[in-house]
Amino acid sequence: MYAQMIQSEATAEDPDKLAAFEARIAAGEKIEPKDWMPAGYRKTLIRQIGQHAHSEIVGQLPEGNWITRAPTLERKAILLAKVQDEAGHGLYLYCAAETLGVSRDELTEMLLDGRMKYSSIFNYPTLTWADMGAVGWLVDGAAIMNQVPLQRTSYGPYSRAMIRICKEESFHQRQGYDIMMKMAFGTPAQKRMAQDALNRFWYPALMMFGPSDKESVHSAQSMAWKIKMNTNDELRQKFVDETVPQAEYLGLTVPDPDLKWNEERGHYDFSEPDWSEFFDVLKGNGPCNADRMEARQQAWAEGQWVRDGLMAHARKRAARRVAAE
Ligand code: 3HC
């Protein structure tokens, strides 16, 4: 259905419609599900929103790993709430993608057969409790940096989903920083754990913003359509500028010997992540890619009876409605 829809719209595109669409984008209007849109705009949105939704769902795995081992009841309750929020974010985003004519089943199948991605960051393991702090502080911190501007994205349902998501992401970032404060100002062993978590998550967090602007395939078109509001490098720089003082407050060292404030630019200079590692993770070769995909395959297979039951119920209700009319 998805492929057919993209195909039929591609042939239906005409220059007048395209010009009218681009004028609406330029005027800052929101595009809504029933409005005409170019096939490429729809396709880009499905790719980006779908990838984002999958990231929220797969993102539950590294943190879910620590729910049973949280150090106190309070920390457990907070972590549970955070992981549940991520499931909710996935659902808002799948709903936003569905308004573009792709079903949730199709999106999931595309994830499971490798046609769609999820964020590279979730292919790294969470080895200690301090990683829960680093994930909240850095990973949710990077996610917010990327997602706050997306509240102004041109597609209405995506923009509205982002407004709800960003409110919750701020709480996630704060709870992560709170864990980091406890660890960094705790015993020497706790501080070492906090430093180790920062060492392991710093560069993967920088990679979340995507490849450098020179390598980014989609940025130019996505920014012209206001699907993306900033380039990958702009957001990465903003993240570094805001995060370094937070690391300094914790008394932790960012693992980059070349990190320094550049007075002239008014920004930090910093080392690029190892992009060969990033592309390797995207190809499926990160430390946890296989585990993450296996967990999603298993959840999909084990949920089959629930989906079948719901569909049978829906069909029965529809048949009853038709019979009553
Ligand atoms: N992980 C995996 N793939 C990535 C990636 C990343 N961190 N960054 C880029 N890519 C992929 C792109 O999808 C694209 O591949 P494709 O053509 O096969 O889809 C390729 O690398 C080239 O990158 P581009 O810069 O051209 O791609 P985009 O214009 O799509 O920019 C993006 C990438 C900035 C991530 C953009 O898609 C975006 O802003 N997405 C919305 C935000 C999002 O997905 N966030 C997920 C973060 S995790 C999260 O929110 C969970 C929370 O709980 C922490």
Ligand 1 centroid to Cα of residue 275, in Å, is 14
3-state secondary structure 9-34: HHHHCCHHHHHHHHHHHHCCCCECCC
Report residue 5's pLDDT band, with 50, 70 and 90 as the boundaries: low
Q: Is the pLDDT at 11 greater than 70, yes or no?
A: no
Identify the pLDDT of residue 8: 46
Report residue 14's pLDDT band, with 50, 70 and 90 as the boundaries: confident
Alpha-carbon Rg of the chain, whole angstroms? 21
Atom of ligand 1 nearest to the CA of 85: 53
Rounded to 5 degrees, what are φ and ψ at 124?
-110, 145
Atom of ligand 1 nearest to the CA of 122: 48
Contacts of 304 (CB under 8 A, 6+ apart): none
Rounded to 5 degrees, what are φ and ψ at 94?
-60, -40
Ligand 1 centroid to Cα of residue 51, in Å, is 7
| Helix extents (H) in the chain | 2-12, 15-26, 39-58, 60-64, 73-98, 104-112, 129-134, 140-150, 156-184, 188-207, 219-224, 232-250, 275-280, 289-302, 304-324
Q: Which residues share a beta bridge with 269?
A: 260
Atom of ligand 1 nearest to the CA of 172: 53
Dump pLDDT digits (tens) for 239-262. Answer: 999 999 999 999 999 999 999 999
Judge if the beta carbon of residue 208 lies within 6 A of ligand 1.
Answer: yes
Which residue matches tokens 């595109």? Answer: 13
Identify the pLDDT of residue 325: 84
| Mean pLDDT taken over the chain | 95
Mean pLDDT of 24-32: 97
Ligand 1 centroid to Cα of residue 210, in Å, is 6
Mean pLDDT of 11-40: 92
In angstroms, how far is CA 3 from the centroid of its own chain? 24
Q: Is the pLDDT at 190 greater than 70, yes or no?
A: yes
Mean pLDDT of 157-178: 95
Identify the pLDDT of residue 3: 54
Nearest CA to ligand 1 atom 12: 210
